[in-house]
C-alpha cells in the first residue's frame, strides 16, 4: 500500500474514533483520547484481539489489575478502538463491579477480621463483597453466545443496577474488567477458564494512589472517608492483586492511570 493511502486510512480511523464521546462513569468525567497512545498501543492490541475471533464463537477477554490502575478507561477505549478498526459493533465491556452485593445486603452481613466482626459495608470493595456465584453464572452464559443482560454498577447511586447492560448477538469480543478476575486463589481462580485472552494491567502505588483519591472524590466521599477506605480496602486489595495474579497473555505497564508505558505480549 502506498504511504499516502495508508495515512488516509489512519486519518479516517482517527476521525471516527475521536468523534466518540466517552464518559468514565455517571459523574460525567470525559475519557481522554490520545492519538499517539491509540496508534502505539490500542490499535495493535485491537488488531491482535480481532484476529483471535477467527478461532472463537465469542472471544472472552479478561482484564484485571489493582484498583486505580485505569482498567475502566483502558477497556472502554480498547472497545471503541476495536469498533473503529473493524467498522462494526463487535465489542462490549462488562464490569465486575456490577456484581457488588447491594448495600442492604452489605449492611446486614459480616466477616471476621483480626478477631473483630466487621460489616461488609464498611469494607465494600474487598472480594467478599462481590456476588461471585452470580458473576460466574452470568459470564458463563455470555461465553456461550447470544444476547445476555448483565448488571452495571452506578457510581451516583453507589449500587449495582440489575440488567442495565446487554451483550448483543453482534458482540464477538466481550471484555470483562475487574480487580480480581485473575486472582490465583479460590474461588476466584474459577474465572480463569472463562477467558480466551487474559490481560493484566500493572501499576505501582505512585500511579494508583492519586487515581483512587480522585475517584473517591468524584463519588462524593469526604477526605477522612477516602483515607479510611484506602487504608482498609483499596491498598490491601492492590497488594493482594499484584502479589497473587495468575499468568496473563498480555501485560500492560502503566505510567499513570491514563497513559501506557509499554505492553508485553507473553
pLDDT at 172 over 50: yes
Rounded to an integer, the average pLDDT of 93-118 is: 94
pLDDT at 131 over 80: yes
Angle at 180 between CA 253 and CA 67, to 5 degrees: 55
What's the pLDDT score for residue 220? 79
* Distance (Å, whole) CA 232 – CA 123: 7
Closest CA to 13 of 45, 48, 38, 50: 38
What's the pLDDT score for residue 257? 81
DSSP string, 111-149: EEETTEEEEGGGGBTBGGGB-HHHHHHHHHHHHH-S-EE
Please answer whether residues 67 and 212 qualify as being in contact, where contact means their C-beta atoms are separated by less than 8 angstroms. Answer: yes
* Distance (Å, whole) CA 112 – CA 74: 35
Give the domains, in start order, of the chain with CATH numbers: 3-265 (3.40.50.300)
Rounded to an integer, the average pLDDT of 250-257 is: 92
pLDDT at 102 over 80: yes
pTM for the full predicted model: 0.90
pLDDT at 6 over 50: no
Amino acid at each position: 500500500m502506498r504511504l499516502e493511502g495508508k495515512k488516509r486510512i489512519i486519518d479516517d480511523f482517527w476521525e471516527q474514533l475521536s468523534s466518540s464521546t466517552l464518559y468514565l462513569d455517571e459523574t460525567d468525567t470525559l475519557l481522554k483520547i490520545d492519538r499517539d497512545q491509540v496508534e502505539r498501543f490500542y490499535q495493535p492490541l485491537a488488531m491482535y484481539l480481532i484476529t483471535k475471533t477467527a478461532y472463537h464463537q465469542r472471544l472472552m477477554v479478561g482484564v484485571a489489575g489493582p484498583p486505580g490502575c485505569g482498567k475502566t478507561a483502558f477497556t472502554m477505549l480498547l472497545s471503541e478502538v476495536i469498533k473503529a478498526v473493524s467498522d462494526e459493533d463487535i465489542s462490549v465491556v462488562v464490569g465486575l463491579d456490577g456484581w457488588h452485593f447491594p448495600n442492604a445486603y452489605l449492611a446486614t452481613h459480616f466477616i471476621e477480621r483480626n478477631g473483630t466482626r466487621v460489616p461488609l459495608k464498611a469494607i465494600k470493595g474487598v472480594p467478599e463483597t462481590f456476588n461471585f456465584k452470580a458473576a460466574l453464572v452470568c459470564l458463563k452464559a455470555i461465553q456461550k453466545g447470544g444476547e445476555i443482560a448483565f448488571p452495571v454498577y452506578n457510581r451516583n447511586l453507589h449500587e449495582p443496577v440489575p440488567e442495565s447492560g446487554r451483550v448483543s448477538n453482534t458482540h464477538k469480543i466481550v471484555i470483562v474488567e475487574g480487580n480480581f478476575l485473575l486472582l490465583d486463589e479460590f474461588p476466584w481462580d474459577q474465572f480463569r477458564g472463562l477467558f480466551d485472552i487474559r490481560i493484566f494491567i500493572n501499576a505501582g502505588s505512585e500511579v494508583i494512589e492519586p487515581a483512587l483519591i480522585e475517584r473517591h472524590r468524584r463519588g462524593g466521599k469526604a477526605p477522612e472517608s477516602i483515607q479510611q477506605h484506602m487504608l482498609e480496602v483499596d491498598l490491601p486489595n492492590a497488594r493482594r492483586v499484584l502479589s497473587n495474579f495468575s499468568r496473563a497473555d498480555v501485560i500492560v505497564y502503566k505510567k499513570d492511570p491514563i497513559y501506557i508505558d509499554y505492553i508485553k505480549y507473553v
